[in-house]
Amino acid sequence: MTDELEDRRLVKRLLAHDREAFNAFFDGYFPRLYRFAHTRLGNDPDTTKEIVQVTLTKAVRSLSSYRGEAALFTWLCTICRNVIADHHERVARERQHVVLTEDFADVRAVVESLTAPDSDDPEINFRRLETVRLIQVALDQLPTHYGNALEWKYVYGFSVDEIAAKLGVGVEAAQSVLARAKRGFQEVYGALTSELVSGRAEGGREAAADAV
């Protein structure tokens, strides 16, 4: 039986939800796609596994579009190339966001205030303690690995490589985690500070009304 007929038969079984066919599909094509994607992803094993898993999942969802005009592996490689291209585009966007965030240093300045020294001015100390409380609340509202990543980077000064090792992921994945963590922190911390400002304004209005 030719490879083309084997491919069509396997696809037919997959479309019929044959569990053994799914096992054969993943076991047979995962290693081949891994080798195909590995060098295209900077030899990052974690990212490669993720990309191959996404590729196979997309392929299964698109099986009805497979016409057998090319070998099944060739068809899978086309999907994999598109997934890799999307990945590189996403990483480029996130890296740009990381650079912009570092340039403006808003997240860095806020999180680093956790370890700022006390001041001789009681008002400054009060504001700092208030800021620290808001930071801790914001970090607690983030997914645990986001909060940890921000503290490791800005409080303990860990490099991205060190953060990647602590998270058990590749460097690119760690950069993505940091970018998402920064965006999440900005949103949560911004909402908390807005609530605080609104509360102060309301308190000021009530005090003014009482004084009249």
Domain assignment present for 167: yes
The pLDDT, as a whole number, for residue 121 is: 64
In the chain, how many domains are there? Answer: 2
62 lies in the same domain as 159: no
Of 36, 70, 92, which residue is a domain's last? Answer: 92
110 lies in the same domain as 203: yes
CATH number of the domain to which 202 belongs = 1.10.10.10
The pLDDT, as a whole number, for residue 200 is: 45
Q: What is the domain range of residue 64?
A: 3-92
Of 65, 92, 119, which residue is a domain's last? Answer: 92
The pLDDT, as a whole number, for residue 172 is: 85
Domain assignment present for 99: no
13 lies in the same domain as 35: yes
The pLDDT, as a whole number, for residue 207 is: 40
The pLDDT, as a whole number, for residue 25 is: 92
Q: What is the 3-state secondary structure (H, E, C) of the chain?
A: CCHHHHHHHHHHHHHCCCHHHHHHHHHHHHHHHHHHHHHHHCCCHHHHHHHHHHHHHHHHHCHHHCCCCCCHHHHHHHHHHHHHHHHHHHHHHHHHHHHHHHHHCHHHHHHHHHHCCCCCCHHHHHHHHHHHHHHHHHHHHCCHHHHHHHHHHHHCCCCHHHHHHHHCCCHHHHHHHHHHHHHHHHHHHHHHHHHHHHHHHHHHHHHHHHHC
CATH number of the domain to which 55 belongs = 1.10.1740.10
28 lies in the same domain as 58: yes
85 lies in the same domain as 109: no
111 lies in the same domain as 177: yes
Domain assignment present for 98: no
Q: Running along the chain, 212 residues long, what does each successive block of 10 average in pLDDT?
A: 76 90 91 92 86 92 86 92 86 55 50 57 66 77 88 81 89 87 84 64 43 42
85 lies in the same domain as 111: no
72 lies in the same domain as 114: no
Which of 132, 122, 124 is CA-nearest to residue 193? 132
